[in-house]
Amino acid sequence: MDLITTTADLAAACSRLAKHPVITVDTEFLRETTYYPLLCVVQMASPEEAIVIDTLAVGIDLKPFFELMGNEAVLKVFHAARQDIEIIWHQANIIPHPVFDTQVAAMVLGYGDSIAYDQLVEKVTGHRPDKTHRFTDWSRRPLTKEQMHYAVSDVTHLRDVFAALDADLKKRRRSEWVSIEMEVLTSPRTYDFHPERAWERLKTRVRKPKDLAVLMEVAAWREQEAQSRDVPRGRVLRDEAVSDIATHAPNTLEKLAHLRSVPKGFEKSKWGADIVAAVERGLARDFSTLPKLEKPRNNSNGAAIVELLKVLLRMTAERHAVASKVIATVDDLEEIAASDEADVPALRGWRRELFGDAALKLKRGELALAIEKGRVIGVERA
């Protein structure tokens, strides 16, 4: 293994790696106390070598690495790639492409929902990776031999995992399924953290336009504050406090102080006044220009339909050896229960062929669920 600490060595290593059609990539970073992840180490491997890049080395320029990430002739293989891609996007405004995510491929092949890397390696290769240094402080220098070994093993095992999954995907004619998922993973919109869209990340469901308007303004303020201070969003204000403020719309410091979810004394800080100002901006918005709110579902049988769809989903996932999570989410099922025209992934492409059409038939009474020899089966009805 080689430890890269200079720009010249990095450029030479990336030039060698670029000659291969497939490389494996992983990163080590810290983000517990920051908004933006601190990239500490990058490890990559080709069939011939493995390297570790000290991204914190004095004077090193990561441009050759970023250029390799954008090289269309080289497939970059990651496991659970979203955070790795986010880091590269933030640092260089580049989305690695093309990419292959072994976690997504594993779900498509029935290894379970969001399987961990070490579990996947063991299932595919029989090796049990040493994860002792998973939570080590990667910002400390010098890197130890144990850290180096850990970093390299991640990308060398990944070579074998990729080869096995890729072959299985081709054998079962599911490569296109993964390619469709990679389009979402490599879309800049996936990593677009503009403050005005920050409210979309929150799990809260508001029902009134006023609540939504305040939520949008307070969430945007928190996002800007977290970015400017480079701290996690929760360090500025917790999600439940943002939701509480959206519901109660405190337009004075006194009203803000009465919210139990807001830290005691918060209203006396400069951020208290900022929140009140955000609330006032929300209340002043033209509600007719806001995104449409989800209407409460009046179907009294909706919950029962969702439960039946869950059984169908589980049956489908088991039958085709695909993780249920990658076929449809609970939110998808709720949307389908409410409308045959629901705009959800489960009613598009391969998911519709696998599950969506059957789900609609189940709703219409054209498909029944039965038990045969201890297993749930679908029975077409005339």
Could you tell me if 27 and 136 lie in one domain? Answer: yes
192 or 244: whose pLDDT is higher? 244
Per-residue pLDDT at 298 exceeds 80? no
Across the range 239-265, mean pLDDT stands at 94
CATH number of the structural domain spanning residue 161: 3.30.420.10
Is the residue at 290 inside a domain? Answer: no
Q: Which of 190, 206, 235 is the last residue of a domain?
A: 190
Q: In the prediction, which pLDDT does 201 show?
A: 86
The CATH number of the domain holding residue 358 is 1.10.150
Tens-place pLDDT, residues 155-207: 999 999 999 999 999 999 999 999 999 999 999 988 877 899 999 888 877 88
pLDDT in tens, 267-278: 899 999 999 999
User: Which of 168, 190, 212 lies at the terminal end of a domain, its last residue?
Assistant: 190
Same domain, yes or no: 243 and 110? no
% residues pLDDT > 90 (the chain): 81
Q: Residue 294 domain-assigned?
A: no
Same domain for 32 and 148, yes or no, is yes
Same domain, 57 and 200: no
Residue 68 — φ and ψ, nearest 5°? -65, -40
**Structural domain of 244:** 195-284
Token digits of residue 327: 């076929």
If asked whether residues 29 and 100 sit together in one domain, one would say: yes
Pair (139, 92) in one structural domain:
yes
Assess whether 247 and 350 both reside in one domain: no
Q: What is the pLDDT of residue 348?
A: 94
Q: Does residue 211 surpass a pLDDT of 80? A: yes
Regarding whether 249 and 321 lie in a shared domain, the answer is no
Cα 51 to Cα 5, 130, 148: the distances in Å are: 11, 18, 9
pLDDT at 373: 85
Of 231, 249, 284, the residue at which a domain comes to its end is 284
- CATH number for 208: 1.10.150.80
pLDDT for res 156: 95
Please indicate, yes or no, if residue 295 is contained in any of the structural domains. no
Q: 136 and 42 in one domain?
A: yes
Which position has the higher pLDDT, 299 or 338?
Answer: 338
Question: Are 177 and 205 part of one and the same domain?
Answer: no
Instruction: Give the E-state strand segments of the chain in sequence order.
Output: 2-4, 22-30, 38-45, 50-54, 75-78, 99-101, 367-372, 375-380
CB 42 within 8 A of CB 49: no
Examine residue 172 and state whether it is found in any structural domain, yes or no: yes
First to last CA, the chain: 65
| Number of domains the chain contains | 3
For the chain, the C-alpha Rg in angstroms (whole number) is 24
Same structural domain for residues 104 and 33? Answer: yes
- The sign one gets for the Cα dihedral 267, 269, 273, 279 is negative
pLDDT in tens, 54-79: 999 999 999 999 999 999 999 999 99
Task: Return the closest-CA partner of residue 181 out of 72, 81, 76, 318.
Answer: 81
Instruction: For the chain, give the mean pLDDT.
Output: 92
Residue among 306, 319, 379 at smallest CA distance from 346 = 306
Q: Do 53 and 138 share a structural domain? A: yes
